[in-house]
Structure 1
């Protein structure tokens, strides 16, 4: 690898992905040049992934930089360590169970020639071991991540945020950012949905975004992944990742406009409904109440504004569902309040 500063650092946070890692690394090595730094960090895997990493490094001398955590810290800690170690002018997180599609690196190099661009966005496709007919109808072969005009510089920070929230694809691996955008940003250690917690702040910092509507990432839908397995703790993390969103959209020299706030509200409500369904399935009244309180704090617009926007768009069923779950949550809040002992009673 060249001793000069890399133009790009590709960052792989790794934990127990031995069956997929070699294909991921091969897809990267097939496209990168000597100016690209490939950083692989193992977070104390238990399935032999660390041995495979060393084997890959020996087969490709000088092309992979290996890092190892002394103890497991979770994906956020791994991402933070990679940010601290990266030397490139541009940073790109790639999940080690996914892979880079042919031609992606060439398209990225071309996008980086556009003056003033500090954020590049791409599309992806879902990869399933056994795809079904319904998956084809969902256009899983090409998932669009934004609504901005393709291949045109976008300096409208509200539109950049609106498009991300409207499409709902808040994941790191479809965003390539100048390292300066990451200054002072780190992931919340010990929590899932770390990308949701950080990406709004990252995109708000972008001065000029550039969207390439091409599939650059093959995203594996696999059992055992973090998002494929549900739990109360993960559902809590999902909701907690949105804490502080209204203040973030108000911050900085360019506060988000109404369209961006409504798009963010759409995303917050979507996450809320998913959390409420989980809590209802487990008859978890405290969480039904808590998630509804969080909704009221995390919406960057009022519930009434959001519902009015949905009705204007003809999204009547979505409006009915949100109204239903808010009622469920408020009933849970009332039930818990009435169950508390009154002052002076034993």
Structure 2
């Protein structure tokens, strides 16, 4: 048996309507030297567990299924990475897909670079056929780099899905995804970015992300947006323990502006324009980064994010709410 190069970990929770399409997109590519792990995270729909079993039986030696009690997305990913045999990990959500050339492109990048993190772009899909490539990475460089050389990479979208990860990066660091929380990616991937000895980015959109109303971050549970503060507390504590807080202070300030002040505020505003969380987010930023308005990395924010920053500073909440009710997302 050839060694497994790439383990594709697919957490499954009540997503029977999407799972076959997800798996078919993987099987349409060059899956030699790959394995696929379906982690049924305690599905309750009466369909997904059996579907996972049937898909595994239909593809023996390629697709494995693990059934577990519900641990949330982070816990399901952890189960997959512990059971994986591959040199690299690819986390694929069960309602998303990849293009046919994705696996070939990724394995070629592994062969050429051997980087610990290989990042790529993603293609959002609103479910109505509208797809616009989205730049997920703040640094575009196909030769290996580290965040000490390019700290602005920390401003990349923190998704675990638009990168593949050398499995040893998780195993040697002991870093795992937290269970049953929001913002599990932010709490995890930023740390791995810093620890990685080599990162490369690819220009290709190798991940197709389905924006569906029932997904976790689009659930309309406004109060849970406060968990962004817990996530950022966790990050700051980790950087402090690593002795890296001073070195990364400026980029962490911009990361806080982006995720706490901008993105979380917009999510709250679209649901509750006078919610007290808006003030709490700003006070958090001012407490940890009192000089945030002069941060040099603000120049790296997109035009739309700079606009949101100015509108929040002026407390133009009604205008912001109108903009995002019509536009739909923060680019």
Query: Normalization by structure 1: what TM-score?
Result: 0.78
- C-alpha distance in structure 1 between counterparts of 2:63 and 2:279, whole Å: 48
1:123 to partner: Cα distance: 0.8
Q: Which runs of 5+ in 2 are unaligned?
A: 318-331
- Residue of structure 2 in register with 1:271 after alignment: 263
**Alpha-carbon distance in structure 1 between the residues aligned to 2:92 and 2:186:** 16
| Cα deviation code 1:15-69 (max 9, x no counterpart) | 0111110011111122243421211111121221111111112222222110001
Are 2:159 and 1:171 equivalent residues in the alignment? yes
How many angstroms does 1:248 deviate by? 4.3
Distance in 2 (CA, whole Å) between partners of 1:264 and 1:15 is 30
Give the structure 1 partner of residue 203 of structure 2: 213
Cα distance change of structure 1 residues 101 and 66 upon mapping to structure 2, 3 Å threshold: same
Secondary structure of residue in 2 paired with 1:80: helix
Partner secondary structure for residue 171 of structure 1: coil
What SS does structure 2 have at the residue aligned with 1:19?
helix
Equivalent residue number for residue 162 of structure 1:
152
Q: Is structure 2 residue 219 aligned with structure 1 residue 260?
A: no
Quote the residue 2:328 is aligned against: none
Report the count of equivalent residues: 311
Structure 2 CA distance for aligned equivalents of residues 210 and 108 of structure 1:
11
Aligned partners of 2:316, 2:98: CA distance in 1, in Å?
Answer: 41
Q: Which moved more, 1:113-122 or 1:88-97?
A: 113-122
3-state SS of paired residue (2:185): helix
8 Å Cα contact 1:125/1:218 also seen in 2:
yes
Q: Of 124, 130, 137, which aligns to 1:146?
A: 137
Distance 1:308 1:180 in 2: 31
Other-structure match for 1:342: none
Alpha-carbon distance in structure 2 between the residues aligned to 1:11 and 1:311 = 32
The CA distance in 2 between the partners of 1:186 and 1:27, in whole Å, is 27
Q: Is the 8 A contact 2:265 2:278 kept in 1?
A: no
Q: What residue number does 1:119 align with? A: 117
Which string of whole-angstrom CA distances, capped at 9 and with x for unpartnered residues, describes residues 205-247 of structure 1? 1111111110111111112111222213431223322224345
Q: Which has the larger radius of gyration?
A: 1
Q: Aligned partners of 1:292, 1:275: CA distance in 2, in Å?
A: 14
Q: Once the 2 structures are TM-superposed, how far is the Cα of residue 250 of structure 1 from its aligned partner?
A: 5.7
Measured at CA, do residues 233 and 68 of structure 1 come closer, stay the same or move farther in structure 2, by a change above 3 Å? farther
Say which of 73, 76, 83 aligns to 2:74: 76
In 2, Cα distance between equivalents of 1:188 and 1:194: 6
Alignment CA distance shift 1:302-1:180 (3 Å):
farther
Further displaced range: 60-69 or 261-270: 261-270
Which residue of structure 1 lines up, in the alignment, with residue 88 of structure 2? 90
Q: Using the TM superposition, give the Cα deviation of residue 92 of structure 1 relative to its aligned residue in structure 2, in angstroms.
A: 1.1
The CA distance in 2 between the partners of 1:60 and 1:52, in whole Å, is 12
**Counterpart Cα distance in 1 of 2:158 and 2:297:** 25
SS in 2 for 1:202: helix
> Which residues in structure 2 correspond to 1:218-229 (within 5 Å)?
218-229=208-219
- Distance of aligned partners of 1:272 and 1:173 in 2 relative to their CA distance in 1, 3 Å threshold: closer
Instruction: Tell me the residue number matched to 1:202.
Output: 192
Gaps of 5+ in 1: 328-346
Query: Aligned in 2, Cα 1:297/1:262: closer, same or farther, shift over 3 Å?
Result: closer
Between the aligned partners of 2:302 and 2:39, the Cα distance in structure 1 is 45
Report the TM-score when normalising by structure 2: 0.82
Determine the C-alpha separation between the residues in 2 that align with 1:177 and 1:52.
28
Change (3 A) 1:280 1:97: closer
Q: 1:105 to 1:89 in 2, by over 3 A?
A: same
Return closer, same or farther for 1:307/1:313 CA change in 2, 3 Å cut-off: farther
Partner of 2:168: 180
